[in-house]
Amino acid sequence: MEYKVLGRSGIKVSQLALGTWALGGGGVWSDRESDEEGTKNLLSACKDHGINYIDTAPVYGMGRSEELLGKALKDRRDDFIVQSKCSLNWRLEGGKLQYERDGYRVDRDTRPDAIRKDVDEILKRMDLDYLDSLMVHYVCDLWPVSDTVGALEDLIKEGKIRCYGISNSQPKDLSDYCEAAGEGSANGGASLVQEFFSVLSPFHGRDYFDTCTKCGASFQTYGVLEEGFLTGPAFLDKEFKKTDIRARIPWYGEDYKAELRKVFVRWEPLLEKYGCSYADLALAWALKQYENMSLLVGMRTQKSVEDSVKAFEIGLSDEDAAFMEDSVKHIQVEVLDK
């Protein structure tokens, strides 16, 4: 496993991170319910393969993901770097409507008091004393960035978080956050940007790389496997409920599926060349796109962990990376809202 430092924070993390949106279940991930024992086994598999970085959020199952992880982290908190998120809540205390899901109204709120409540609730649900990293799940322009950053910096000083970052944002947001932090910041401002990025939708990420470099921030992908659609042709035969995230992205459409099947045929010789899976190819492609890259991958079983780590052994050539992207240019999508 390769390791990188998150921005200027000094926190060393595995380049492959465990994404736990699916642990929350509910209408968004409707095909499987997670439990405490399975989550413990998942973390054990991660540790065995050198993965020390876990990402979660309050809205992943309305606390369910965090609760499962909290129980699974008992007696091994020091083995993992734990990251959760603020700014989306269902307290009905104001903010901007983000969505309604599974009977809850979720609001976007980046006011200092809201961020503090988010963190206190996360620590209580996970039974933790602190978070290593706190992401602003969705940035919001309804309140001054300086107020939001001030609260985040105070949380570092108080020992409740070690660093922070932003997600679902634009490059200017990162510049604004770092400028608001100023020279007195504990870690030079935001340590991390987390955005969608894959060979099927690379544009937003590439727009962000220069700003990350200027601000000294790491870049973390989500959706690098496009919720499973880049794991191979067998996945394309699956059906999902209308509320499921996988039924609401472009690749679920029959036209896209037909084109993806052709792509997998074109990529098939690479499987033999590198002795890997389709998922490994997609991960290896992403690793080549930016030096300070973190891959956030939703892994739910020991098997998926074992397969994902193989991406670091591939050494995908520049020529093959270019070939992979050229194969999907006709179906790439510029904007995705997951």
Domain residue ranges in the chain: 3-331
Residue 141, pLDDT > 90, answer: no
> Using one digit for the tens of pLDDT, what is the confidence trace for 175-207?
999 999 987 787 878 999 999 999 999 999 899
Q: What is the pLDDT of residue 184?
A: 77
7-21 mean pLDDT: 95
> Using one digit for the tens of pLDDT, what is the confidence trace for 71-95?
999 999 999 999 999 999 999 999 9
Q: What is the pLDDT of residue 149?
A: 95
Residue 171, pLDDT > 60, answer: yes
CATH superfamily for domain 3-331: NADP-dependent oxidoreductase domain (3.20.20.100)
Cβ burial of 28 (10 Å; 0-12, 13-18, 19+) is buried
Give the pLDDT band (50/70/90) at residue 336. Answer: low
Q: What is the pTM of this model?
A: 0.93
Mean pLDDT value across the chain: 93
CA–CA gap between residue 59 and residue 89 (Å, rounded): 7
Q: What is the pLDDT of residue 337?
A: 62
> Using one digit for the tens of pLDDT, what is the confidence trace for 225-268?
999 999 999 999 999 988 888 999 999 999 999 999 999 999 99
Give the pLDDT band (50/70/90) at residue 210. Answer: very high
Q: What is the pLDDT of residue 300?
A: 87
CA–CA gap between residue 61 and residue 29 (Å, rounded): 9
Q: What is the pLDDT of residue 185?
A: 82
